[in-house]
A and B are shown apart, each in its own frame.
Chain A
């Protein structure tokens, strides 16, 4: 019986599966950060329980950390007291329970979903969880990776397992080839616009097809990262030579003969021909234009050549109301051209788009140009390693010379917890994942775009079609 990759990984992690009970699913890797874990550790302590496998648990500071530095170091005085308490509490819990922590001055520090693959903590065939919805990112290496709540974090800390109901499986085949400057982010936004923000609910989604095969690991991570914005429990891409080449030599990846042995096992992971999926979708991305969101969820998206839709054209009354609310919040008029929308701020960062490849694509738009007057532009690399590599190859200089701020890594303005945020009414071209009301700061207006689209908007002061920029 042919099996899907999801089924293979699921079955390899079942500890107990008895009719009428939830499945006990084993978790290979538990990633922890300071924003959602303090209450889990407190619960563990209150119950007198230990962390079952500190060796399978890695913690990092990312949501609350400052992206500014003082003499090359990050200090707690750069964030408010509430953020500082989250940071020191994580440090204390890591010490107390014997968990490896990448603190805010560790050279391996970065956004949890950037450093997992980067450090080789994320490997094909694994089950990976983290108290963060964008854990779906790690599925790009061919793992089953999903976000969990704080009670579940406590469950995994105590048992190294989760109680799960088996999700359904979905295959989204993406065919076609991308034009110059068009990225995995554009595919993801287009897909969500076409299929909806709830299409993946209850499903683990495997992305396949020629367009996915030709994506780099970074691009696959962007796509899987956005799977949660389509409602999916997890996103995944079958491992191939691109995956193995990416993982080889990473600090926590297996070495030598063990790596070769692992690769042999990983080659068995891809879905068998004829494997069953509960739901199948196919999209074609030939001729895809850069995508820009105009509303307050990632499905409210159009081509950069398009216009803000008119709610009056929407037959479904609930959708019409949602469109009206979104336009009011975003301060946009029906029929307005996307390229006429001016931006106040540009944010290049987040677990969606802050890897080296993203910064390279953005820098191409910026080189030899300058940020438009009145525009605030930030680059927040996804990890300190990405930052160092970008500095070594001259990208940092390109951004700085163009008038961008060049920051230290963290979640920053994607979630606005560390002080990097939009003010009321401020409009932002952002490479992050959520254009929700207030996401980047109360009253802030977010347009989701790819890194080159964000960079070009910073230069022009409004959205532009990068194909003729």
Chain B
């Protein structure tokens, strides 16, 4: 896993609620066996004028002032819908390392951690305030500090965000989750023996 510690970066606003993973990465881009090559897929139905190539000048991410943004500011229930990890792959490849929103859909939230993207949850009034500031100020940046669990505005206002303690450590260190679980293999084996006694029908597949 790619570690995340702190990030100071340009913010791009996507002021829409319930942005789903079909909108983040349309299904036609899922027809691949590769884990890369998704930067172009990001928000493709909004970003291009019909051909998946010609930029739509009206779409917010295409505005010159947001080029090079590394933090995406989004509305409530971001990442809802499909479980496709192609959505965070596209977000990461495009260049974002952090998404800030009032809430995230569960599967998307989990997928972010596995791809070095920090999902930051801030109260809705705060996010709405940030939208106003981003839109009003060209070159608006935020500083995100995972260790301190803070988002700091250019004027020095500090917002605290919640995060699960284990996930935080895993992300700070860039932990190999699978390796960590496999380090508890004895416990897994013991569980399997017990479960086989208690619920043998679960094991009767073959």
Contact = CB atoms under 8 A, between A and B. Distances in A.
Interface of A: 12, 15-16, 20-22, 24, 26, 28-29, 35-36, 38-39, 42-43, 47, 49, 55-56, 58, 63-64, 80, 82-83, 85-86, 89, 100, 121, 123, 125-126, 131-133, 135, 146-152, 154-155, 158-161, 163, 165, 167, 197-198, 201-202, 228, 231, 233, 252-254, 258-259, 261-262, 265, 297, 318-319, 321-322, 325, 415-417, 424, 434, 436-439, 442
A439 to B, nearest CB: 5
Q: How large is the interface on B (under 10, 10 to 19, 20 to 34, 35 or more residues)?
A: 35 or more
A22 B166 contact: yes
Contact of B188 (A15, A55, A439): A15
A125 B199 contact: yes
B120 to A, nearest CB: 16
A63 B30 CA distance: 10
A117 B92 CA distance: 36
Given A161-B181, A322-B17, A201 B103 contact: yes
Contacts of B204: 252, 254, 258
Contact of A150 (B75, B85, B106, B181): B85
Contact of A86 (B31, B111, B115, B202): B31
A135 B106 CA distance: 14
A24 B189 CA distance: 13
Given A158-B178, A297-B20, A436-B23, A24 B201 contact: no
Contacts of A121: 205
Given A123-B202, A322-B17, A417-B27, A24 B81 contact: no
Nearest to B26: A438
27 contacts: A24-B188, A26-B191, A36-B30, A36-B83, A55-B205, A63-B30, A83-B31, A85-B32, A86-B32, A133-B81, A135-B83, A147-B83, A149-B83, A149-B88, A149-B114, A151-B111, A152-B114, A155-B178, A198-B80, A198-B103, A254-B204, A318-B75, A417-B27, A417-B31, A424-B50, A438-B22, A439-B22
Given A35-B30, A123-B202, A147 B107 contact: yes
B110 A152 contact: yes
B195 interface: yes
B107 A161 contact: no
A89 to B, nearest CB: 5
B157 interface: no
Contacts of B148: none
Contacts of B16: 321-322, 325
B30 A436 contact: no
